[in-house]
Amino acid sequence: MKRAFCVFASALNDQSLKLANNMKLISDFKEWKFRSPPSYAKLPIDENPEYNVPVAVKNAVFSKVPVEPLTGALHLVCVSGDALQDLFDLDPKVADSEEFIHFVAGRYLPEGGLTVSHRYGGYQFGYWADQLGDGRAHILGEYVNSKGEIWQPQLKGSGETPYSRFGDGRAVLRSSIREMVASEACHYLGIPTTRAAALVVSDDHKVWRDKTYSGNAKQERAAIVMRVANCWYRLGSLEILLKRAEPSTMRTLVDFIIEHHFPEVHSSSDDKYVKWYTEVAHRNLDMVATWQGFGFTHGVLNTDNVSILGVTIDYGPYGFIDHYYHHYVPNSSDDMGRYAYNRQPDILVWNLEKFAEALELILSEEQKEQIKAVRSTLGEYVKKKVLSTYLLKLGLKQTQDGDEDFVQELLQTMQDTTADFTCTFRQMAEVDPKELLDKSVLEKKWSLDKLLAAGAKWEAWVKKYQDRLTVEGVSEDERRARMLAVNPAYVARNWIMQEAIADAEKNDFEKVRFLMKVLRKPFEVDEEAEKRGYSSQPPSWSYGLKLSCSS
Ligand code: AMP
Ligand code: MG
């Protein structure tokens, strides 16, 4: 029935589709059911009953693992009404029901649910780390929405699994807030990403964490974030199957992923593995280009933290750059800066090399050669994508010789003058390029004002920019409109998150919820956000802020 509706709906325009969908919204959460069985039930699932004892799992893609619910009194910290409505066909009001909060806390599983944890490995900081897997996450089931899309909600922080290694299977409030807010914020920016539907915290369920790795562990409250994706496979999902020499499981998994999640590749011919590799690679490189455009730095780009779908996954010690610094490293554990902002495109290419190595286990000699040829193009592919992302931020559409230097000169000047990444581009959209050297105008634009300190260097760049606009024939109205649409006023800056987290620790969730609201429309100026300084110069205490991996 749902599929039939999907065909019908695809013929409607956006507005009537919304109306049709609205009519279908489910307002009684008890009526919301998973598809039964979920498609992933066809894959090999390990049924070891000792689910909470760490073990090296063999010949399986998942382990069947019951959720260990959060205990104690619960608070619903925040909800993404859009995720509920657009992904799950749910009336956001369901979030007021007891069943819903119990659902997020792992206490209530809708009909058709099948709770599993995924087996994967990964290269961490360049070295093979062996089996990792969902050590504290459970996929709950599979929902096929009224648009025919498959969505799998996953709890993070929902108890031990065979993949827990030394961990307790839990997550704390601060990291869960960071994941919740950033997932939705990135979605609204236009970054491909996993989504987040809701977040609960328990007053009574406590865990020990050593946040600064100083030997001083403290008790913190346990929380669960409900994340949502079409599926949860990572590059490391294949890598573990290479390392354990399981070609048959790999073939089953790859064929399954292609059939269920890459229909455009599935329908094509025998060289589907080559097409699939190319698609996975391009999606991930397109994704990293969007990151570069927003100054988003993931922080832990291990191969287990890279989705096969090319969506941002596993938000940990990430950061959006404040004052521009090309080697920005938000993760306090990344001493060598392996995952610095400017290294991200190359790291993705490195990760995709490892992914190709894994896939070779099931490839013919001819396919290996074809994929080798694809691999040799990836560096150039991402370089071009990143460059055109920057040009678009500057309101330019055409590329020409010397563009790379042109962009680099601006970034270098921003770095030299500690100009802000987000606000420089945003303010550049707001000021007529003819006035980019006018002190009286720039005084009112704090980030641009900093650039004036670069003197002749800034003047030379502005001159080039003005010439570029003339050559392209971009009118001022067009330039402004283009730039305002791609340069946000607000991003999930770490200092703003830290303030929201501090309040949330005291059960005051106003700032978290306000952030969710503002970041839903990051390209629109919000009066209250302005008052709170969200597009002002970040406070001095936040300068050089780094985030811990402890979560
Ligand atoms: P992450 O840094 O969150 O991507 O996690 C890296 C690996 O450690 C994954 O396999 C996680 O499932 C696992 N892990 C992280 N924290 C915990 C925890 N508290 N309990 C169990 N496993 C964890
Ligand atoms: Mg991870």
* Catalytic one of 304, 322, 334, 526: 304
Note the pLDDT of residue 260. Answer: 96
Atom of ligand 1 nearest to the CA of 169: 20
229 neighbors 257 (Cβ within 8 angstroms): no
CA of 443 to the centre of ligand 2 (A): 43
Ligand 1 atom with minimal separation from the 549 CA: 2
| Short-list 129, 143, 71, CA closest to 105 | 71
Distance 261 CA to ligand 2 centre (A): 21
The pLDDT tens digits for 150-203 are 999 999 999 999 999 999 999 999 999 999 999 999 999 999 999 999 999 999
pLDDT at res. 8? 29
Residue pair 135/167 in contact by the 8 Å Cβ criterion: yes
Question: What is the largest distance, in Å, between two alpha-carbon atoms of the chain?
Answer: 71
Query: Tokens 């969710």 label which residue?
Result: 516
Q: Ligand 1: which of 131, 163, 207 to mutate, judged by most atoms within 8 Å of the beta carbon?
A: 163
Q: What is the DSSP letter of 452?
A: G
Q: How far is the CA of 132 from the centre of ligand 1 (A)?
A: 8
The Å distance, Cα 58 to ligand 1 centre, comes to 19
* Cβ(550)–Cβ(299) below 8 Å: no
Q: Is the CB of residue 331 less than 8 Å from the CB of residue 316?
A: yes
Is the CB of 170 inside a 6 Å radius of any atom of ligand 1?
yes
Q: Which ligand is nearest to the CA of 167?
A: 1
Q: Which DSSP category does 444 fall into?
A: T
Q: What is the pLDDT of residue 23?
A: 60
The rounded distance, in Å, linking the Cα atoms of 449 and 447 is 5
* Token duo for residue 499: 């303030």
> Residue 264: how many CB atoms within 10 A of its CB?
10
CA torsion angle for 452, 534, 542, 449 (degrees, to 10)?
Answer: 10
Tokens of 81: 């009404």
Cα dist from 82 to 90, 91, 92, 188, whole Å: 9, 9, 8, 11
Question: Which residue owns the Cα nearest ligand 1 atom 13?
Answer: 135
Q: What percent of the chain has pLDDT over 70?
A: 95
In angstroms, the CA 86 to CA 138 distance is: 22
For the CA of 133, the closest atom of ligand 1 is: 10
372: Cβ contacts below 8 Å, ≥ 6 apart: 356
Q: What does the block give as tokens for 261?
A: 């999640």
Is 305 close to ligand 1, i.e. is its CB under 6 Å away?
Answer: yes
- The helix (H) or strand (E) run that includes residue 219 is strand 218-229
Distance CA 459, CA 452 (A): 8
CB 82 within 8 A of CB 520: yes
55 CA from centroid of ligand 2 (Å) = 18
Reference 380, options 404, 358, 396; nearest CA is 404
Query: Which residue shows structure tokens 């283009």?
Result: 482
168 lines ligand 1 (CB under 6 A): yes
Residue whose pair of structure tokens reads 């094509």 in the numeric block: 268
The protein residue with its alpha carbon nearest to ligand 1, atom 17, reads: 167
**Closest atom of ligand 1 to CA, residue 160:** 21
Q: Is 424 in the pocket of ligand 1 (CB under 6 A)?
A: no
Q: What are 354-374's pLDDT values in tens digits?
A: 999 999 999 999 999 999 999
- CA–CA distance, 331 with 550 (Å, rounded to integer): 10
Ligand nearest to C-alpha 135: 1
Give me the tens of pLDDT residue by residue for the chain, a chain 551 residues long.
Answer: 233 333 223 333 344 444 455 568 999 999 999 999 999 999 999 998 898 899 999 999 999 999 999 999 999 999 999 999 999 999 999 999 999 999 999 999 999 999 999 999 999 999 999 999 999 999 999 999 999 999 999 999 999 999 999 999 999 999 999 999 999 999 999 999 999 999 999 999 999 999 888 889 999 999 999 999 999 999 999 999 999 999 999 999 999 999 999 999 987 677 899 999 999 999 999 999 999 999 999 999 999 999 999 999 999 999 999 999 999 999 999 999 999 999 999 999 999 999 999 999 999 999 999 999 999 999 999 999 999 999 999 999 999 999 999 999 999 999 999 999 999 999 999 999 999 999 999 999 999 999 999 999 999 999 999 999 999 999 999 999 999 999 999 999 999 999 999 999 999 999 999 999 999 999 999 999 999 999 999 999 999 899 998 99
- Three-state SS for 35-103 is CCCCHHHHCCEECCCCCCCCCCCCCCCEEECCCCCCCCCEEEEEECHHHHHHHHCECHHHHHCHHHHHH
| Gap between the Cα atoms of 289 and 283, Å rounded | 10
- Which of 327, 138, 124 lies closest to 225, judged by CA? 138
- Kindly give, in sequence order, each residue whose CB lies less than 8 Å from that of residue 381, ignoring residues fewer than 6 positions away: 281, 282, 285
Instruction: Point out the ligand nearest to the CA of residue 333.
Output: 1
Please classify residue 170 by burial: count the beta carbons closer than 10 Å to its beta carbon, then call 0-12 exposed, 13-18 middle and 19+ buried: buried
> Residues 322-358, buried b or exposed e (16+ Cβ, 10 A)?
bbbbeebbbbbbbeeebbbbebbbebbbbbbebbbeb
The span from the first CA to the last CA of the chain, in angstroms, equals 42
Say if ligand 1 is within 6 A of residue 121 CB.
no
**Residues whose Cβ atom is located within 5 A of ion ligand 2:** 305, 314
Question: What letters, b where the CB count within 10 A reaches 16 and e where it falls short, cover 377-396?
Answer: ebeebbbebbbbbbbbbbbb
Under 8 Å between Cβ of 252 and 260: no
* 316 pocket-lining for ligand 1 (C-beta < 6 Å): yes
165, 179, 298: which to mutate for ligand 1, most atoms within 8 A of CB?
165
Query: Is 210 an annotated catalytic residue?
Result: no
Among 116, 130, 136, which residue has the most ligand 1 atoms within 8 Å of its CB, making it the best to mutate? 136
Answer positive or negative: Cα dihedral of 268, 274, 280, 282.
negative
Instruction: Reduce the DSSP state of residue 446 to 3 states and report it.
Output: helix
